[in-house]
Amino acid sequence: MTQLQVKLHEKQREVFDDQHRFRVVAAGRRFGKSRLAAWLLLIEALQSESKDVFYVAPTFQQAKDIMWGVLKDLGQDVIQSAHENTSVLTLVNGRKIYLKGADRPDTLRGVGLHFLVIDEYADIKANVWEQILRPALADVQGKALFIGTPKGRNHFYELYKYAEKGTDEDWKEFHYSSYDNPLIPATEIEAAKTSMSSFAFRQEFLASFQAASRDIFKEEWIEYGEEEDEPANGNFYIAVDLAGFVAVDKEAGNKNRKLDETAIAIVKVHSDGWWVKEIRHGRWDIQETCKEIFNAVQNYMPTKIGIEKGSLKNAAAPYLNDLMRENNTYFRIEDLNHGNRKKSERIIWSLQGLFENRKVTLERGEWNAPFLDQLTNFPNSQLHDDLVDALAYIQQIAMVEVSYDDFEQEDYEALDAVSGY
């Protein structure tokens, strides 16, 4: 059989060499998770006598983006054919490696597997493993690798803690921070630390399962400025967090229910941070809401405006279109979405680092008090967070998220070949 020269750093090798049936790996960004997973997929497929292997990511597109190129690169000497449309690799021994997405659960059913990798398990519903993938390993006592970066204390955390207990001899847990990758200079990680919130850094680089807690935003982090202090440079962005419209709520018979507020965050993003001009907020009917949004756009001429995607945005769209035609003023509205994160995590990710590093200045105004109340008490299920949520959405339309992908092939060329298969 063709020999593969497996190149892994010391900590990756610990997982690679381990013989437990189920391995659970919590690791920080840039640890080398994708490369470790790719080597295991290739070796397990080559060693399988009858069954194939799966790589499962939260979505099919993610599976292709993360793993297709890595597998083709590392496995070029043992790949017989590659079908990119279906994301299936056939190896020289006839075994296949399938790239799959948990967003298409029906494509995961009805198979028997020798081995599978579940990547970013925190972003995958637990029942995909419990009801679909676990049974697929039963025929030949197949093996699984769970690998990912923590996202709070969810089902990934529970699985990690189960393995950590050591009461089930089939399970083994591993925990690594980004510092455990010898190919990354510690200075690079420290540089990232200065631009991130402490919560985000602990989660993404230290692989901490820490859940969001109180005292996330400290009042001493808040900077204020007068109108005349507004930076000359920069561009305005507007983000809208829509609430249930008053008229709609009355029709539903909920006249006395305390509604969320619609919040319209207006921010100038400049060379040294954010100048929060104002956050307009209120409990308005649908026409009033659209007039508030339109007036904000007319007043500030933002580079982009985004509104939370969903039924409320769809309901508001015809009224906004009418206002555009009536005033001969047209603008494109971007969709804002939650992504794969819980609301609390998204807000922390978007805002904590900016406030902690004194990159946000609030222009003094009557809106300061309700905003500060929501921010300093976040998260609190007893209080509204509409103004904070709207401000957090600014990052989605104004900032480019840094990607901490695994290192490329050239980063491993300094490593000696560790073993051959």
CATH of the domain at 29: 3.40.50.300
Beta strands across the sheet bearing 333-336: 223-225, 360-363, 273-282, 262-270, 235-241, 304-308, 333-336
298, amino acid identity: Q
Residue 417 forms part of a structural domain: no
The predicted structure's pLDDT at residue 214: 57
Q: Which of 323, 315, 269 is nearest to 293 (CA)?
A: 323
Asked if residue 175 and residue 86 are part of one domain, the reply reads yes
Give the burial class of 261: count Cβ atoms within 10 A of its Cβ; 0-12 exposed, 13-18 middle, 19 or more buried: buried
Q: Are residues 190 and 221 in the same domain?
A: no
Indicate the residue among 171, 199, 227 that finishes a domain: 199
Looking at the structure of the chain, the number of domains it has is 2
Do 142 and 255 fall within a single domain? no
Give pLDDT, residue 175: 96
Start-to-end CA distance of the chain, whole Å, equals 8
In this structure, what is the dihedral angle of CA atoms 253, 294, 343, 213, given to the nearest 10 degrees?
Answer: -100
Kindly tell me the burial class for residue 309, based on how many C-beta atoms sit within 10 Å of its own C-beta (0-12, 13-18, 19 or more).
middle
Per-residue pLDDT tens digits for 379-401: 776 678 999 999 999 999 986 43
- Considering the chain, what is the average pLDDT of its residues? 87
Question: Of 199, 233, 254, which closes a domain?
Answer: 199
Q: Which two tokens stand for residue 2?
A: 């063709």
What is the mean pLDDT of the segment spanning 372-380?
86
- Token pair, residue 12, equals 């990756």
Is residue 144 included in any domain, yes or no?
Answer: yes
What residue type is 67 in one-letter code?
M
- Write out pLDDT tens, residues 258-308: 568 999 999 999 999 999 999 999 999 999 999 999 999 999 999 999 998
Q: Is residue 414 included in any domain, yes or no?
A: no
Q: Which pLDDT score, from 0 to 100, does residue 376 have? A: 87
Q: Is there a single domain that holds both residue 184 and residue 312?
A: no
pLDDT of 213 > 80? The answer is no
Residue 330 belongs to domain spanning: 216-398
Same domain, 162 and 238: no
pLDDT of 247-270, one tens digit each? Answer: 544 444 444 345 689 999 999 999
Q: Are 135 and 171 contained in the same domain? A: yes
User: Three-state DSSP class for 304?
Assistant: strand
- CB-CB neighbours of 49 under 10 Å: 8
Clarify whether residues 52 and 88 are in a common domain: yes
Sequence-separated (6 or more) residues with CB below 8 Å from residue 260: 243, 244, 384, 386
Same domain, 137 and 278: no
Average pLDDT of the segment spanning 166-175: 96
Is residue 207 included in any domain, yes or no?
no
Mean local confidence (pLDDT), 7-30 = 96
> Is 2 contained in some domain?
no
Higher pLDDT, 339 or 171: 171
For residue 192, what pLDDT is reported?
Answer: 83
C-alpha 20/C-alpha 347 separation (Å) is 38
Identify whether 3 is part of a domain. Answer: no
Helix (H) / strand (E) containing 56: strand 52-57
Domain of 282, CATH number, reads 3.30.420.240
As a whole-number percent, the residues of the chain with pLDDT over 70 amount to 88
Within this chain, do residues 112 and 190 fall inside the same structural domain, yes or no? yes
Specify whether 166 is located in the same domain as 291: no
Measure Cα distances from 161 to 27, 54, 197, 360, 366 in Å.
14, 24, 26, 38, 47
C-alpha span between 118 and 147 (Å, rounded):
6
276 inside domain? yes
Determine if the pTM surpasses 0.75.
no
- Domain end position, chosen among 166, 199, 232: 199
Neighbours of 175 (CB within 10 A): 17
CB atoms within 10 A of CB 218: 12
Answer yes or no: is 95 within a domain: yes
Average pLDDT over residues 7-19: 96
pLDDT of 281 reads 95
Please give the share of the chain, as a percent, with pLDDT higher than 90: 68
pLDDT at residue 247 in the model: 54
| Residue 158 and residue 235 in one domain | no
Whether residues 173 and 317 fall in one domain = no
Q: Give yes or no for residue 44 having a pLDDT over 90.
A: yes
CA atoms of 15 and 27, how far apart (whole Å):
11
